[in-house]
């Protein structure tokens, strides 16, 4: 499987990091070794002093597809979920300043939290509420209505470049409110009011 991530998909998040609004979806990848194993804590890596949480709606691909038309994209997934794209922000800023790729800051071991997947039926994917709580306080509160590119648009666009395969996961971008994690923090993700994951930081 592969993990395909979309950056800069919420305007307020773009503004909080003082980035430019992109003309097309920003795509980066995480290897399967980035997946944080179930029930494991997230261990802050030694190479960063500023790791940020970024909560995101996830989509799991259920069939092989290439050059998928947007109007058919809904056929390529039947489950949605919630996750975290952990980012070594200090390392990312340094890499960006030199025009270098982000992988060391985004794709390191344990940097991808994948919560429970649920059937998409019954949800309005264009108006999906999700949030991240840090130590019982809401730090990110998002809605897919604020996406620059909706889920089906993302699938269509990504499939121009990469063949999508069964089990691939797409991270669809994070809303505003990203911030630093500290040892002993507890992060809880909720999708439409239901718990999707809970992670302890070490």
Fold of 3-200: Fumarylacetoacetate hydrolase; domain 2 (3.90.850)
Q: How far apart are CA 86 and CA 201, in angstroms?
A: 11
CB 9 within 8 A of CB 148: yes
Task: Supply the pLDDT for residue 64.
Answer: 98
* Domain regions of the chain by residue span: 3-200
105 by DSSP, 3-state: which?
helix
Q: How far apart are CA 148 and CA 187, in angstroms?
A: 26
pTM: 0.94
Q: How far apart are CA 132 and CA 84, in angstroms?
A: 9
pLDDT tens profile 113-150: 999 999 999 999 999 999 999 999 999 999 999 999 99
pLDDT tens profile 18-49: 667 678 999 999 999 999 999 999 999 999 99
Task: Flag whether pLDDT at 17 surpasses 90.
Answer: no
């Amino acid at each position: 499987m592969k993990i395909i991530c979309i950056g800069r998909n919420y305007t307020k998040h773009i503004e909080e990091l003082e980035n430019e609004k992109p003309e097309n979806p920003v795509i980066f990848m995480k290897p399967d070794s980035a997946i944080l194993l179930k029930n494991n804590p997230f261990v802050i890596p030694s190479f960063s002093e500023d790791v940020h949480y970024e909560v995101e709606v996830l989509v799991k691909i259920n069939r092989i597809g290439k050059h998928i038309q947007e109007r058919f994209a809904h056929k390529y997934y039947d489950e949605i979920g919630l996750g975290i794209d952990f980012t070594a922000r200090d390392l990312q800023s340094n890499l960006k300043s030199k025009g270098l790729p982000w992988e060391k800051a985004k794709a390191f071991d344990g940097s991808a939290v994948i919560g429970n997947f649920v059937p998409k039926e019954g949800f309005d994917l264009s108006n999906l509420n999700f949030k991240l709580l840090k130590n019982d306080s809401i730090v990110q509160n998002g809605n897919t209505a604020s996406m620059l590119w909706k889920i089906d648009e993302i699938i269509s666009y990504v499939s121009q470049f990469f063949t999508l395969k069964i089990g691939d996961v797409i991270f669809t971008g994070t809303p505003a409110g990203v911030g630093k994690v500290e040892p002993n923090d507890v992060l809880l993700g909720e999708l439409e009011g239901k718990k999707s994951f809970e992670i302890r930081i070490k």
